């Protein structure tokens, strides 16, 4: 016995409706064409699959078995088609993400590693600060967002995937950069800081740290860009608190010093976040898995001691 897929589809429809006319209609076939295929199928099985008692059509025991087999085969074909469609989407999918300004310093490396695995995808990347990211999530504008821990009261799914240590930096020739002993928080309270703009996650975390330790946080200038903050610190305009992830070039060039301060680094985490109501595309789901499993490896380790 070797029924064709077409025969199974026709039989499944007849068995479901227990009616030739309805089955023929749902398959856009004529009733004689349907009856003919059922007859051929019965000839192959050498057993009747349907029986008519009075005006009603019933499945025989062999018919019940064939019905189960037909349904499974149809479902399996659908499953395979779905998987192939998803794989096709994945190959040429579009990834639409936004990241915190600070995450910009490592996200390109992550995207480069991801793109090597899926060379045909295209990517839109928006780089902005925390408050803007929260707005974009609320409006369901992005597949995924990479940011510091989002507030818990919002309709978001957030999973941490990477540490984000915040450190104090100073100019190479700053007196605190020369100090051998660990710097106390009391000493910091006499220093001036250059900070990020309102709405920045780094700024919120820094303010919280000083508040929790009950020491003054003297800020002299705010700048909306990590790179400009680092230049200002190199020019000895003040100290700053930045993510270690923003410092790779400066640490290698030894143009800035990470200070050894008590209770530092402030240990934060990077989160991959999506709106709870978002149905992630296959490419977005794959990128999320990539972040959770491979981010550490793709970024490599940054050193704090320079």
| Contact footprint for ligand PGA (CB under 6 A) | 100-102, 129-130, 147-148, 196, 200-202, 268
Least Å distance, CB 221 to ligand PGA, is: 16
Query: What value does the CA radius of gyration of the chain take, rounded to a whole number of Å?
Result: 32
Q: Which is nearer to ligand PGA, 115 or 207 (CB)?
A: 207
Q: Which is nearer to ligand PGA, 93 or 201 (CB)?
A: 201
Q: Which is nearer to ligand PGA, 102 or 275 (CB)?
A: 102
Least Å distance, CB 90 to ligand PGA, is: 29
Q: Which is nearer to ligand PGA, 130 or 257 (CB)?
A: 130
Least Å distance, CB 280 to ligand PGA, is: 21
**Closest-CA residue to 185 (of 264, 119, 112):** 264
Q: Which is nearer to ligand PGA, 100 or 194 (CB)?
A: 100
Least Å distance, CB 157 to ligand PGA, is: 16
Least Å distance, CB 129 to ligand PGA, is: 4
């Amino acid at each position: 016995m070797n029924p064709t897929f077409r025969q199974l589809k026709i039989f499944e429809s007849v068995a479901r409706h227990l009616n030739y006319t309805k089955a023929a209609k749902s398959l856009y076939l004529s009733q004689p064409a349907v009856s003919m295929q059922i007859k051929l199928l019965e000839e192959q099985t050498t057993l009747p699959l349907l029986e008519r008692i009075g005006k009603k059509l019933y499945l025989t025991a062999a018919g019940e078995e064939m019905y189960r087999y037909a349904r499974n085969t149809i479902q399996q074909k659908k499953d395979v088609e779905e998987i192939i469609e998803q794989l096709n989407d994945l190959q040429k999918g579009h990834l639409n993400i936004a990241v915190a300004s600070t995450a910009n310093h490592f996200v390109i490396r992550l995207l480069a590693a991801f793109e090597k695995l899926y060379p045909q995808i295209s990517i839109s990347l928006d780089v902005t600060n925390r408050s803007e990211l929260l707005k974009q999530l609320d409006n369901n504008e992005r597949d995924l967002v990479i940011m510091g821990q989002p507030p818990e009261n919002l309709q978001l799914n957030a999973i941490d995937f990477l540490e984000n240590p915040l450190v104090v930096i100073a100019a190479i020739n700053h007196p605190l950069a020369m100090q051998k002993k660990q710097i106390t928080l009391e000493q910091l309270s006499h220093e001036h800081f250059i900070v990020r703009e309102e709405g920045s996650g780094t700024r919120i975390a820094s303010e919280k740290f000083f508040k929790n330790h009950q020491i003054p946080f003297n800020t002299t200038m705010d700048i909306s860009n990590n790179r400009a903050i680092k230049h200002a610190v190199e020019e000895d305009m003040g100290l700053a608190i930045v993510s270690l992830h923003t410092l790779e070039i400066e640490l290698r060039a030894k143009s800035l010093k990470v200070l050894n301060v008590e209770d530092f680094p402030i240990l934060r985490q990077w989160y991959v976040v999506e709106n709870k109501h978002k149905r992630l595309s296959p490419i977005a789901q794959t990128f999320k898995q990539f972040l959770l499993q491979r981010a550490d490896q793709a970024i490599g380790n940054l050193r704090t001691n320079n």
